[in-house]
Structure formats: C-alpha cells, structure tokens
Structure 1
Amino acid sequence: MEQNITQYTNMSNKATSPFSKPWSEQALLVQVLVGIFLYVNCLMICTFFKKEAFRTDTRYILFAQTLFMDSALMVFTDLALIGSYFQIPVPCIPCVIMCTIMAWLTISTPLTLVAMCLERYVAICMPLRHASISTTRTRLLGLVLIWCFSSIPALIVFFIFTSSVPLSFFSTYLICTVEMMIVHNWQAQIRAALFQFYFVIMSIAIGFTYVKITAAARAASDNKKSASKGLRTVVLHAFQLLLCLIQLLCPYVEMAVMKIDIKLFINVRYFNFVVFMLASRCLSPLIYGLRDEKFFLVLRYYAVFGLNIKDLYLCRFCPHYFKHGKTGPLGSSIKTIG
C-alpha cells in the first residue's frame, strides 16, 4: 500500500505545467473525436426529448440512458486523460469522487445494453405480453436496478480505499488515474472477480436473447433483406458489447504495463481509450440512432434546424403521414413518431 501511495505522490511532485508540454497529434486527435462524439450524442438526446413517442417507448428510454451515461463517462475520462497526459496534480478528494463515478458509469453501459436485449427479446418473442410487461413501473424499476447493480463494484473499491489510506493522504495532490484507488493486491483481485462475474452473467444473457431473437426473426420474416438487416444489427450490437466487456479488463493490463515502462503505458492507455472507449460508445448512435428510420427522420430534421421544408411539412402539418405509414427509400414502413 505504501509503495502505491508513494508512487503517485512522486508522480505528482514531478508534474510540470500543462503549458510546458506541447499537444501531440494523438492527444489532438482524441479531443477531435471526443468533440464529435459528444456533439452527436447531445443532438440525439435532444431529439429524444422532442418527441413524446420516444419518451414513452422502453427501447428509446434505454437508448437515451445509454447516450447520457456514455457522454458523462466520456467527459470524465477525457479530463482524466488530459490530466495524466500533462501530469497535472489534483486534490485527492475530487479525484476519488471522479474515479468512483467513472467506475460506476463503466459498468452501467453494458448493463443497459443487456436490458435493451431483454426488451427486444420480449418484444419479438413475446409480442402479446410486451405491452403488459413494458410499463412505466417496470421501466422505472429496470432503470433503478441498472444503477444499483452497476454501483456495486465502484462502491466496494471506494469503501476499501477510504478505509485503507491514512487521513493525511486525502489532503495531498496527485495524478488522477483509476489505478490510484487500488492500494492492495487483494483489492485488485476482488475487483477482477466482480468484473468476471458480471462478464459471465452478461454474456449468458446476451447469448440467450440473441439466439432467441435471431431464430424468431428468421422464422417470422418473409423478406430476406429485412432479415439480413436485423442480423447485421445483432452483429453490431454483439460487437459493441464485446468491446465494452473487454474494457473492464483494460485497467489490469495497463497496471502491468505501467510497472514495465511508463511510455509504453501511455501508448497502451491511448490505444485502449480509442478502441474500447470511443469505438464501443460510437456504435450506440449508429445502431439505435442512424439505422433506426423512425428516429433518424426526426434527428435529420433537428440536425439541420428545420431547414428541410419537406420534413418541416411532414412533421408539423401532416401527422397522418406517419399514422398511416409511408414507404421509405429502403422499402420499409415509417410509422407514427408522435
């Protein structure tokens, strides 16, 4: 424990001014990607709140929660990345709070995606019971359970950390990283065991639901193009969940690399951030936003501030256009969006 505390304290003592180190191409690229990601997510969140039909649909509610959690996680992670890159020391207490929130949000996204799988499973495999199961009460209960279960690993690490370090440590300044809160080897083992348990449970739930959904889609669909699109969505969603679950193991790889070479540690962390943080989170807008015709139609209208006269007319003056359905360019029916 004393070795870990001394390590991060020494790093803080050697920290330099953020203006004494130039921005590298990698750091600038990350900031551009984060900016684009946050802009798209904010636009989709605004689109979600614009239409009542989205706010009362369980699928879109879970999608909006994913956007909110991913955006918050991206902001906190990017701040920590900038602080680590420029070696900026920060007070211990705000760092501990931020690391706990990041650990909380990291688990929340995969759990929300599992909940979306279960919702789709009920909608496709049990359509007659979907309306009775997907109610306001069950939605609220589901959201509460997601936040509660995702908080367990973060709170365990938080309480172990606060009970292990001396009180004087909370008045120090240090480089804020999630590894800072691992002060015991057995603490890392407990967190790894929790992550493995979550990994197994989520993998079983995802595998079961997607096998059932794929079988039901093939049995019920007479249109090969529609079935092919559904299978592509399944593959993208499964790939996103795989990246999110692999991200749970990244801190252990980074901690092992940090003991070998600090420069290699920075490169590995940069790779993990781009591949397992940015890439996995960017798939949510692609799968549930841009590829969903009903959501994309409203998103396109608000993205151009209503400059598209045709969409303005259809959304505001022709509600029957959506109620009775219209055949879009892909040959699928666009139903009412409120």
Structure 2
Amino acid sequence: MADNSSLIGGESLQQQISYRVIIVQLLVMIFLCINLLLIATFFKKEFLYTTTRYILYAVTLLSDSFVLLMSDVLLILTFFQITMHVWLCIIITVVVLLYLMITPVTLTAMTLERYVAICMPLRHGELCSTHSAINCILIIHVLSSVPCIVVFSNFFASASLSFYEQHSVCSVEIFILFRWHDHIRSAVHQFYFLIMCITIVFCYFKIMKVAKSASGENKKSTWKGLRTVILHAFQLLLCLIRLWCPFIEAAVLQINFRLFFNVRYFNYIMFSLAPRCLSPLIYGLRDEKFFLELKKYAFFSVYNKKY
C-alpha cells in the first residue's frame, strides 16, 4: 500500500513538473519575442544605435535574451536528465555565468549614464559618446568575467583529470567541489553587489538633489531619470536575492523534497525570469522616443503582413 501511494505521489509530482516546465516555455517564448522586437527596433534607427543609453539598453536586451534561452535549455536538459561531458558543460556554464553578471553590471553603467546626463549635462556629450559606449561595453565584459574566473580557477585547481571525462547533468553546482568554493563565489558576488548598491544610492541622492532645485522641463526630465534609477535598483535587488537562493534551497532540501521543488520553481520565476523581463518595461515602454519607434516598427510590420 505504501509503495502504491508513493508511486501515485511520484506520478503526481512528475505531472506537476511537466506543467511547470510548459509554463516556463510559454513565458520564455513571450519574453524572447518581446526582446527580439525591441532589438530589431534598436537597429532600425540611427539615433538609437548611436546614443549611449540605448546602446547599453541593447546590451541588457541581448544578454537577457541569451540567459533566458540558455537557462531554458538547461532546464529542459535537467528535466529529461540528459547528461553531457563535463568539458562541454564547462564551456556552456562559462558563457552563462558571464552573461548572468553582464545585466546587473550594465544596469549600474546605465545608472551612471543617467547621473552624468542630469547632474553633469555639459559633460554628457563628451563622457557618453558612442566611442565611450564601446569602451564601456568592453569594461562591462571584463568586470563581468571576474566571478566566472574565480569559480573556475578554484575548480581547475581542485578537479582531477578524470573528472573532465565524466558525464553529468549540466549545472554550475557540479563545479563547486568543496564548501569553501561556494563561500568564495558568494563573497565575490556580494562584493560586486555591494559596489553596485553604493553606486545606485549615490546616483539616487545626487539626482534627487538636482530634482529639488530644477524647474519646468528640467524638473520633469530629472524626476523621470530618478524613477529610472529606482527601477534599476529594484532589478538589482532581485538579482541580489538570486544569489541567496542556493542557500535557501539547500536548507529546504533537508526538510522536504516537494517543498524544495516548489521553492526552487518560485525562485526561478521570481529571481531569474522576472529581473530579465523588467528591461523592456523600463526603457522599451517608458522611454518616449524608443516607444514611438517601437510602435512605428510594430505597426509597419503588421501592415506589411496584411498587404
């Protein structure tokens, strides 16, 4: 009797997992389509791809789209328990970890751009030129690669050669061989987000100071920039919480597997998918110039399909 009940429970859990995987596929497809439409709009107008804030916005769209796609692929591989060589998983994980960090680092850079535009308007053209934006993207990639280098430096120093020949379900956890590896990874991430939070708070108070003394159109523009900084801070908060999820999930796993499954699914939706779905809202829909071009491009595409 106990075996039958456990079997029924197992089948019920398997069905629940299947439904949730399908829901994730729908969400990922919707957000990828929105992101691709925004990226296409970005490349349609010269003033968009030659303006620093829109260039940085496009970087977040591309990195978010890539992370959405790759995390979804890894989710499917895990669901079907498909294994691969560890060396292949290393290549995939390196790229995913890099782009996981690119979004929060780019958000910080976008906040600094708003600070320069509002608090140092006379130097904005000089500091935020197209050439500066290209250099900024290179710096963003270098800074974003540091946590990944730390994780895999520890792994390469500790893993035996035979480990690379093994097959495993691909996950970053397989490269955390010792508890101190995880502690170092966590410390690096916490340091990064501490610096990001300090930067966001600094920019917020500086822009707030300007907003109080501004008038007319300048005041309206300044308060809009301030709201953008607040939304960036909210995105960074969600990304920061994502770093704590593995610790919470590990503790819950010791209590109950079904509860662990529910918590992990909630964490994935709230702290992996949600932060990467806010970028379209912040710039694609709130920015008047971008939204105007988006409507033109979307309407033109629909019109062409009809005729």
> Which is further off, 85-94 or 193-202?
85-94
Q: How far, CA to CA, are the matches of 2:113 and 2:145 in structure 1?
A: 22
Q: CA deviation at 1:306?
A: 4.2
Task: Report whether the alignment pairs 1:190 with 2:184.
Answer: yes
Q: CA deviation at 1:262?
A: 3.9
Q: CA deviation at 1:291?
A: 1.0
Is this contact kept in 2: 1:221–1:227, CA < 8 A? no
Q: How far, CA to CA, are the matches of 2:161 and 2:64 in structure 1?
A: 33
Name whichever structure is richer in helix by fraction.
2
Task: Report whether the alignment pairs 1:159 with 2:124.
Answer: no
- Which of 134, 140, 143 is the matching residue for 1:140? 134
Q: CA deviation at 1:99?
A: 1.7
The gaps in structure 2 that reach 5 residues or longer are 1-13
Is this contact kept in 2: 1:89–1:175, CA < 8 A? yes
Q: CA deviation at 1:231?
A: 4.7
- Which of 265, 275, 286 is the matching residue for 2:260? 265
Q: CA deviation at 1:279?
A: 1.1
Q: How far, CA to CA, are the matches of 1:22 and 1:235 in structure 2?
A: 36
Q: How far, CA to CA, are the matches of 1:251 and 1:49 in structure 2?
A: 38
- Which of 234, 248, 251 is the matching residue for 2:246? 251
Q: TM-score, normalised by structure 2?
A: 0.87
Q: What is residue 269 of structure 2 aligned with on the other side?
A: 274
Is this contact kept in 2: 1:123–1:130, CA < 8 A? yes
Amino acid at match of 2:116: V
Cα-Cα RMSD: 2.2
Q: How far, CA to CA, are the matches of 1:255 and 1:142 in structure 2?
A: 37
> Which is further off, 180-189 or 114-123?
180-189
Q: CA deviation at 1:78?
A: 1.0
Q: CA deviation at 1:255?
A: 3.6
Is this contact kept in 2: 1:179–1:255, CA < 8 A? no
Q: How far, CA to CA, are the matches of 1:73 and 1:38 in structure 2?
A: 10
Relative distance call for 1:171 and 1:298 in structure 2 (3 A) is: same
Q: How far, CA to CA, are the matches of 1:57 and 1:229 in structure 2?
A: 18
Amino acid at match of 2:177: V
**Deviations for 1:249-298, whole angstroms, at most 9, x for unmatched residues?**
22333344345444333322211111011111111100111111110111
**Deviations for 1:121-162, whole angstroms, at most 9, x for unmatched residues?**
000000001111112332222111110111011111112212
> Which is further off, 137-146 or 103-112?
137-146
Q: CA deviation at 1:233?
A: 3.3
Q: How far, CA to CA, are the matches of 1:114 and 1:288 in structure 2?
A: 15
Q: CA deviation at 1:246?
A: 1.6
- Which of 206, 209, 212 is the matching residue for 1:215? 209
Q: How far, CA to CA, are the matches of 1:22 and 1:275 in structure 2?
A: 18
Q: What is residue 11 of structure 2 aligned with on the other side?
A: none
Alignment of 1:107-186 (within 5 A): 107-186=101-180
Number of residues of Structure 1 aligned to a counterpart in Structure 2: 290
Q: How far, CA to CA, are the matches of 2:142 and 2:229 in structure 1?
A: 27
Identity across the alignment (%): 51
Q: CA deviation at 1:178?
A: 1.6
Q: How far, CA to CA, are the matches of 2:220 and 2:46 in structure 1?
A: 30
Q: How far, CA to CA, are the matches of 1:155 and 1:278 in structure 2?
A: 24
Q: What is residue 289 of structure 1 aligned with on the other side?
A: 284
Q: TM-score, normalised by structure 1?
A: 0.79
- Which of 220, 223, 234 is the matching residue for 1:239? 234
Amino acid at match of 1:58: T
Q: How far, CA to CA, are the matches of 1:225 and 1:134 in structure 2?
A: 22
> Which is further off, 28-37 or 81-90?
81-90
Relative distance call for 1:234 and 1:142 in structure 2 (3 A) is: closer
Is this contact kept in 2: 1:244–1:280, CA < 8 A? yes
Amino acid at match of 1:270: Y
Q: CA deviation at 1:185?
A: 1.1
Q: How far, CA to CA, are the matches of 1:226 and 1:59 in structure 2?
A: 15
> Which is further off, 239-248 or 282-291?
239-248
Amino acid at match of 2:124: H
Secondary structure at the residue paired with 1:304? Answer: helix
Relative distance call for 1:117 and 1:274 in structure 2 (3 A) is: same
